[in-house]
Amino acid sequence: MATSKVKQIHDFGQSIWLDFIDRKVIASGELKKLVEEDGVRGVTSNPAIFEKAISSSSDYNADIAELAKSDKTNEEIFFGLAVADIKLACDLLWPVYNEEDVVGADGYVSLEVSPFLALDTQGTISQARQLWDAVDKDNVMIKIPGTEPGLPAIQTAISEGININVTLLFGLDRYEAVTEAYISGLEQRAAQGLPVNHVSSVASFFLSRIDILVDPMLDEKGVGEMKGEVAIASAKLAYQIYKRVFSSDRWKKLEEKGAVPQRLLWASTSNKNPAFKDTRYVEALIGPNTVNTIPLETLEAYRDHGDPASRLEDDLEAATQTMEKVREAGIDMDAITKQLEEEGIEKFNKPFQKLLDAIEQQK
């Protein structure tokens, strides 16, 4: 049998994680098949994914009824359900995490803190600790949004040895601040004489949402030929920041102690503009030491007609020029990334509230 085109991406140093989880995909053996045949090397979840899983299925009803007998809040009931799924997925991906010579490179399953805590540093730290302890698996990653209040939470969690998936990143300055939080957290840990070799993190840079917001502005400014280019250009420049930060003398001191770089993860990679190829955000950004988390539909599309090749560092000059032209056109990327972050928080808050309401109705 020919090697899956999805699996071939791994030959270029990029790991594919599945941006989807529910009980059915685990229990049916589908996730195991995706790991074995398509080389899926991790799983990510978010409030919207869990809302669909729980609201559109009866798989969780018995557990909700059981948990409702206690005095747990609806949010505590949700996390009880989510933690159970995450544990199962962690066990399934444990062989990937535990592969010889690359222990901890992949095999992670991500669980997000409540989106209601996106601007609450202390609340985020507290819940990150709770979820880390509740899952109690070395290959879980706790998702924390890369908001300004999220940065100290990320640093604290890393210093405590908690694996972190930093989510909702849209801008280059904030991404660099996230690398600083990661490195500072590891330095704190090393200063206390604690090991840094099994702490892992990814920084999730969101793509398609950038183009959705920017493309209509490009048309208005008369530079519509750049539509669909800004997110990819941003990602390519983010990767150059990654290479600079994780080759510095400061980083090398941690690397000598066994620390691993915080990889960039491409998120929001399902194309939402029918004018472009449906695998656009997978195709353009294949490159070494990166992760792409893709929904099932995009994975299936790539399996069918993907074209795996390393392209992440192609046309870097063009990427720089694209961002310069955007500025010259009077489009304020700082304002756009701030708007995207605010909208991103809201896009997770709404399904999370809907989820809590659905649990209330099922109790």
Q: Which of 5, 7, 137, 143 is catalytic?
A: 143
Here the tokens at position 300 are 């299936």
46, two tokens: 């978010």
Q: Rounded to a whole number, what is the distance in angstroms from the first to the last CA of the chain?
A: 48
What does the DSSP 8-state code read for residue 276?
S
Strands 164-169 and 290-294: unpaired
Alpha-helical (H) ranges within 69-207 are 74-97, 121-135, 150-159, 172-191
**Where do the DSSP E strands lie in 207-277?**
263-267
Q: Measured between alpha carbons, how far is residue 335 from residues 233, 268, 293, 340 in Å?
A: 17, 20, 26, 9
CB 154 within 8 A of CB 184: no
Residue 143 is a catalytic residue:
yes
- Which residues neighbour 294 within 8 Å (Cβ) at sequence distance 6 or greater? 16, 17, 18, 19, 269, 270, 282, 302
Q: Which residues are catalytic?
A: 143
